Structure 1
Amino acid sequence: MSGDVQLERNITRREHQILLDVDEFATRYDLGHIRELLKKAALIAHNPSDLARTEGLNQEEIAILSGKDGEYRHGRCTPFQSQIVNSMMLIYLAAAVYGMAHFSAWTYISLDQWYSAPNTLESVTFNAPHIGSALVGCWCTVPLNRAVGRRGAIFTAMGLIILTSIAGSLELWPVANLIQRFCLGVSFGLLECTIPVYCVETSPDHQRGRVTGAWQMGSLFGQVLVVTLMLVVPVSWIYLSISICAGAICVGCWFVPESPRWLVCKGQMLAAFDSLRYFRPTGLLAARDLYLFHIRSETTGVAQSQRAPLLHLFTNPRASRATLAAVSVIVPRSLSGYHMAMATQNLKGTDYDTTIAWLFVTLGYTLALFTSMFTVVLAADRASRRKLLLWTILPMACVMGFYPIGWGFAAQQTIGIAAKAILIVMYNIGQVPLSVYVAESFPIQYRDYGMAFTISMYHGSFAAMRVAMPNLVYWPHFRYTFAVCNLIAFILAFFLMRETKNLALEEVPLAFEAPTRNLILYRLSVEIPYFFRRHVLRQNVQFLPFEDSKYGGGAIVLDTE
């Protein structure tokens, strides 16, 4: 009995200290009008497993907090049944506009120019979107996000899409075409570095994969819409429709709240609470998440360095490990052969070079992706990010060994269609966990620089690959180059990618606490032997998680389920 009394006293003393901390927090940030709500939310945050002890909770709040509604704790609902996803439909429409503009950017190039560049100007014009993204667009996100926030960056990108789409509908001389496509690439870089970050920072931790991965479906929807329009209307009309949609997003993005985590880092706690109130079903959940953001930010030191220089991506241990992991998994994507799959049927000399047939095949591919991508988005919060990505890379490497380079669809038609379909589907499935992983890996003070560097490296490597393509495409063993690149991507992801699924966003940097050398040694000495003994020798062996091994060093890593 005395032990129970002592435990009760300890709990009471701890709750008293929590309430004092909440009073100080509310006073410092002028949150007096929600002081009582914050106190209740803080008690819930510190003891979520014993909701019955918290005073003032009604049955509806207890049901939500305990996960009885099937959404908030366990995430057992489809993306379109989720409150947070429904609240972010405008952001997904912005992703659809991005997909429309991204796909239509290639309509400037005639079908016989995918693998040939008659002169330097035309080659640079072809790659201008990737060059603009790598050199300007990605890096503009750093000052824009810090000055005007995530919404301001999206507004700027949509403004550029309006201007470039109107220009694209006109007959321009070659230099003007180059400028138009370069500016379009700038808008791509802005959106690719901002939309995933906005989704990651806005979503609850248990729905982060689903909410962020859904922006890839929005982009895919935009591509399908453009392909459909290309079958019935001129290209100039498509550009005008893109500009109209982008104009609607420019107006609508200001009706969506700013990222609450961005506001917390700026010290705007009241605005952050209002933003969370928009994305959460009750004020109690909004207050709880606000308090958790504040506590985790102080615990992990997020608020210490808001103006982190670019060099810290390579000198700060956690940031450098996150940079290495992100770059090592995203750069090989440009060398996977996906973009070749979307265009090899357009080679000269094949009997599959009609525009209408190409459009119908592309439409069929993009429509087929919806089923697979929808399934992966559903699984994004249940399956490991690392496992999802690894399972998509190996089929791509195998497919490239049978890829019909230069065959067309007359010869080996079945193999050609199957190879292209598998490659395209696997690539886009892998984009879902990859976009989530890259956006969530960096600490918030390095997130803008980290995203800019990673996405710019991707676009730069793709532009370099495209420049080299005309000289390599008719090499007999050309396809094996992409197969080897996919194998290298698999090895890099296997050894360097760290699991982040089960961590809160502010706790993700803890996954990069252990040195990379320790992680590689763990893969070699523990994970590979376990896989061999468990799945090859069929032995009943126990898996040793990374954090429990001698290599872990106390880091919180690796989902072992």
Structure 2
Amino acid sequence: MVEYIFDLWDPGLIFKSEEAYKNIIMSKHSLDEDLKPNSVFVEDAEAQADLGSYSRNVNARIYNPLAGIAKVDLYDRALRFCQEFGFEDHVETFQKGALVAQNQKEFESLDELTEEDKYHLRREYTHKWHLPKDLYYSIALCSLGSAVQGWDNTGANGANLSFPQEFGIADNTWLIGVINSGPTLFGLLSAWAADPLNNWLGRRGTIFLTGLFCVFPVLAQAFTQNWWGLLLCRLFMGLGMGVKVSTIPVFSAEISPASIRGGLVTSFQLWVAFGIFIGFCSNLIFYRIGTLAWRFQLAAAFAPAVPVLIFVWFCPESPRWLMKKRRYKEAFKAFCRLRNTELIAARDLYYAHCQVITERDAFSGKSLLHRVWELFTVPRLRRAMISSAIIVISQQFSGINIMSFYSSTIFEQAGYSPRDCLLASLGFGLIMFFFALPAVWTMDTFGRRNLLLFTFPNMAWCLLAAGCCFLIPTESGARVPLIAFFIYLFTALYGPGIGPIPSIYFSEAFPLSHRELGAAFTICINNSVGSALSLTFPSLLKKTTPTGAFGFYAGLNILAFAVIFFVVPETMQRTLEELDYTFGVPISKHARYQVGTWLPWFVRRYIFLQRSAKLEPLYKLEGL
């Protein structure tokens, strides 16, 4: 087969040999210019049309942008990179880093590397969790801010048993729903601010600013004297939460190495689950206060935000955000704090730089409205938008937020006393936190997509079983424990599945040029659907009974499973830059592969137990 090469300066040119390419391109472009780092060899002319723009990758090939470059040229490019960005003292480090980035799986054969270099590169595979403390400190501290979200949900859960009576709105289920969903309602407005705020303030500055809205409005809830005052406080909480929910996962994803990015970004959901559990503990602590209990239950959620406000400035800024601002020296210093050696930091910086050039050529200089338009018109961006939206909608369809807000109400309908409702809800929170822990490991072992496809059908039958248990006569001793058992089992499946995946997925799906904007849109969709479901659940519960409500959400879980199967791609263990090619694959090609290749393989392998069945992968890894 004839090999072809094409030039990204002029995608219309195709050459049948490397010699022909060099003869024409070298004369066409000045040697003083930096050659495009992602000019690549392809096997056929059909691939040329696809690779001319990474936005539509119909051949499902994932390319290393440095593949095929001669060592002399690679060293020359690294030298010019160092001269341009002021790394004259680190030329050798960046040259070796570029060489390792080009041969990521073959570094053992590189004579240019010392034994110490190879030792640390080897440990990326054998001890991938052995990383600098600054990385873990940054992930843990910033994700701590998400505990406010979980704590507030459960604070409202316990407060639902008392504040409606105090304000005389116990019979107005719609108004109770509006008050509970206040943060997500106002989050619809604030999510749009994620892009300009991150652009102006950086990741750390944005996290600090949003943290202020997680302290003062939360505390103010304790002093409200009427329902509209409480609603106003919760709306202001939404100003911070709408931006925070998108910024923290993006920050975590940008500082994490690809091999364990899923596990580290899971920290966000882990702290949400921790906040839910501590919130239920708080509800029980303040339960005996009486009619004033709800004030303490709601206001106590400010606590996790305080250390974030103080210590966030000790975290390194996101190196990819610094690169976006062309502050490469600061980006290298940040990478050095987040990686084990300077060589690894230089490799990651230079590799990311290669893709940033491509993105800059494709998207730089565009206005905000133009970039918004591109989210829906550029195939690569549109697919990231659709996939991320499906993931966050599926999380809402799972019914977990309904459990967080209304589990006490549900257990009350099952026949529990107010105190027992809070105890049963505490069990719900404990299980959610406990089963969020395995996600740190499973996310980068089994993959995001596989976990979703396994857990959604199982969550569906758990909800259906819990709903059917409400039909058991009240006097039966089995009714209450069975309802609690199936709700707990549902929660255990949620923990390592759809619980942490949304924050991971939207933080890694978009290119750097559209990352904040894509995350903001995704959170907007999440808040819209979440608000609608929270608003309607009290009325749904009242009109259809718990059996009907649980059956409705069981159906939504099955719907989510089907859509994810046909549309959502896997992102596990790909760098943020390599995912450009993953999301460039059209949805139609992905869906045909699932039906025509994956499903027959699954039937042969796991239904007919044919060990010889082989799965042809969708994505071809070339030069990686």
Question: What TM-score do you get using the length of structure 2 for normalisation?
Answer: 0.78
In the alignment, is residue 547 of structure 1 matched against residue 606 of structure 2? no
Q: Are residues 121 and 214 of structure 1, via their aligned partners in 2, closer, same or farther at CA, if it must alter by over 3 Å?
A: closer
In the alignment, is residue 418 of structure 1 matched against residue 485 of structure 2? yes
In the alignment, is residue 530 of structure 1 matched against residue 601 of structure 2? yes
Q: Which residue of 2 aligns with 1:396?
A: 459
Distance 2:325 2:365 in 1: 9
Distance 1:12 1:309 in 2: 32
Query: RMSD of the alignment, in Å?
Result: 3.1
Q: Are residues 470 and 379 of structure 1, via their aligned partners in 2, closer, same or farther at CA, if it must alter by over 3 Å?
A: closer
Distance 2:210 2:596 in 1: 47
Q: Which residue of 1 aligns with 2:81?
A: 25
Q: Is the 8 A contact 2:215 2:302 kept in 1?
A: yes
Q: Are residues 509 and 52 of structure 1, via their aligned partners in 2, closer, same or farther at CA, if it must alter by over 3 Å?
A: closer
State, as a whole percentage, how many aligned pairs show the same letter. Answer: 26
Deviation sequence 1:491-534 (CA, Å, 0-9, x none): 00111010111321111121122221122122222222222222
Deviation sequence 1:68-94 (CA, Å, 0-9, x none): xxxx2355549x997732453322322
Q: Are residues 410 and 186 of structure 1, via their aligned partners in 2, closer, same or farther at CA, if it must alter by over 3 Å?
A: farther
Q: Are residues 341 and 32 of structure 1, via their aligned partners in 2, closer, same or farther at CA, if it must alter by over 3 Å?
A: same
CA deviation after TM superposition for structure 1 residue 400, in Å: 2.2
CA deviation after TM superposition for structure 1 residue 209, in Å: 0.8
Q: Is the 8 A contact 1:229 1:238 kept in 2?
A: yes
Counterpart pick for 1:325 among 387, 393, 398:
387
Distance 2:245 2:534 in 1: 20
Q: Identify which range, 318-327 or 108-117, moves more after superposition.
A: 108-117
CA deviation after TM superposition for structure 1 residue 13, in Å: 9.0
Distance 1:434 1:226 in 2: 22
Q: Which residue of 2 aligns with 1:8?
A: none
Deviation sequence 1:314-333 (CA, Å, 0-9, x none): 10101111111121222132
Deviation sequence 1:186-209 (CA, Å, 0-9, x none): 222122111111111110111111
In the alignment, is residue 138 of structure 1 matched against residue 194 of structure 2? no
In the alignment, is residue 89 of structure 1 matched against residue 157 of structure 2? no
In the alignment, is residue 505 of structure 1 matched against residue 505 of structure 2? no
Q: Which residue of 2 aligns with 1:289?
A: 348
Counterparts of residues 94-243 of structure 1 (less than 5 Å):
94-110=145-161, 118=172, 121-133=175-187, 135-233=188-286, 236=295, 242-243=301-302
In the alignment, is residue 310 of structure 1 matched against residue 372 of structure 2? yes
**What residue identity is the alignment partner of 1:401?**
L
Q: Identify which range, 500-509 or 332-341, moves more after superposition.
A: 332-341
CA deviation after TM superposition for structure 1 residue 36, in Å: 3.0
Q: Which residue of 2 aligns with 1:63?
A: 119
Q: Identify which range, 367-376 or 100-109, moves more after superposition.
A: 100-109
Q: Are residues 97 and 35 of structure 1, via their aligned partners in 2, closer, same or farther at CA, if it must alter by over 3 Å?
A: farther
Q: Which residue of 1 aligns with 2:107?
A: 50
In the alignment, is residue 73 of structure 1 matched against residue 136 of structure 2? no
Distance 1:310 1:191 in 2: 20
Q: Are residues 122 and 337 of structure 1, via their aligned partners in 2, closer, same or farther at CA, if it must alter by over 3 Å?
A: closer
Q: Are residues 326 and 12 of structure 1, via their aligned partners in 2, closer, same or farther at CA, if it must alter by over 3 Å?
A: closer
Q: Is the 8 A contact 1:547 1:555 kept in 2?
A: no
In the alignment, is residue 352 of structure 1 matched against residue 352 of structure 2? no
CA deviation after TM superposition for structure 1 residue 363, in Å: 2.2
Q: Are residues 466 and 219 of structure 1, via their aligned partners in 2, closer, same or farther at CA, if it must alter by over 3 Å?
A: closer
Q: State the secondary structure of the residue aligned to 2:526.
A: helix
Counterparts of residues 255-294 of structure 1 (less than 5 Å):
255-294=314-353
Q: State the secondary structure of the residue aligned to 1:505.
A: coil
Q: Which residue of 2 aligns with 1:491?
A: 562
Deviation sequence 1:454-511 (CA, Å, 0-9, x none): 2211221122123333443242633322121111100001110101113211111211
Q: Which residue of 1 aligns with 2:424?
A: 361
Distance 2:452 2:78 in 1: 41
Distance 2:465 2:96 in 1: 61
Q: Which has the higher contact order (CA 8 A, sep 6+)?
A: 2
Q: Are residues 205 and 386 of structure 1, via their aligned partners in 2, closer, same or farther at CA, if it must alter by over 3 Å?
A: same
Structure 1 unaligned spans of 5+: 1-10, 549-553
Q: Which residue of 2 aligns with 1:3?
A: none
Deviation sequence 1:132-178 (CA, Å, 0-9, x none): 11x21321211111111111211111111111122112133332211
**What residue identity is the alignment partner of 1:323?**
M
Distance 1:246 1:434 in 2: 22
Structure 2 unaligned spans of 5+: 1-66, 287-292
Q: Are residues 278 and 230 of structure 1, via their aligned partners in 2, closer, same or farther at CA, if it must alter by over 3 Å?
A: same
Q: Are residues 65 and 344 of structure 1, via their aligned partners in 2, closer, same or farther at CA, if it must alter by over 3 Å?
A: closer
Counterpart pick for 1:439 among 468, 491, 507:
507
Distance 1:515 1:314 in 2: 14
Counterpart pick for 1:246 among 287, 298, 305:
305
Question: What TM-score do you get using the length of structure 1 for normalisation?
Answer: 0.87
Q: Are residues 417 and 107 of structure 1, via their aligned partners in 2, closer, same or farther at CA, if it must alter by over 3 Å?
A: closer
Distance 1:293 1:252 in 2: 28
Distance 1:38 1:472 in 2: 60
Distance 2:260 2:134 in 1: 11
**What residue identity is the alignment partner of 1:209?**
G
Q: Is the 8 A contact 1:512 1:555 kept in 2?
A: no
CA deviation after TM superposition for structure 1 residue 183, in Å: 1.1
Q: State the secondary structure of the residue aligned to 1:425.
A: helix
Q: Are residues 404 and 121 of structure 1, via their aligned partners in 2, closer, same or farther at CA, if it must alter by over 3 Å?
A: closer
In the alignment, is residue 374 of structure 1 matched against residue 425 of structure 2? no
**What residue identity is the alignment partner of 2:310?**
V
Q: Is the 8 A contact 1:102 1:188 kept in 2?
A: no
Distance 1:180 1:169 in 2: 10
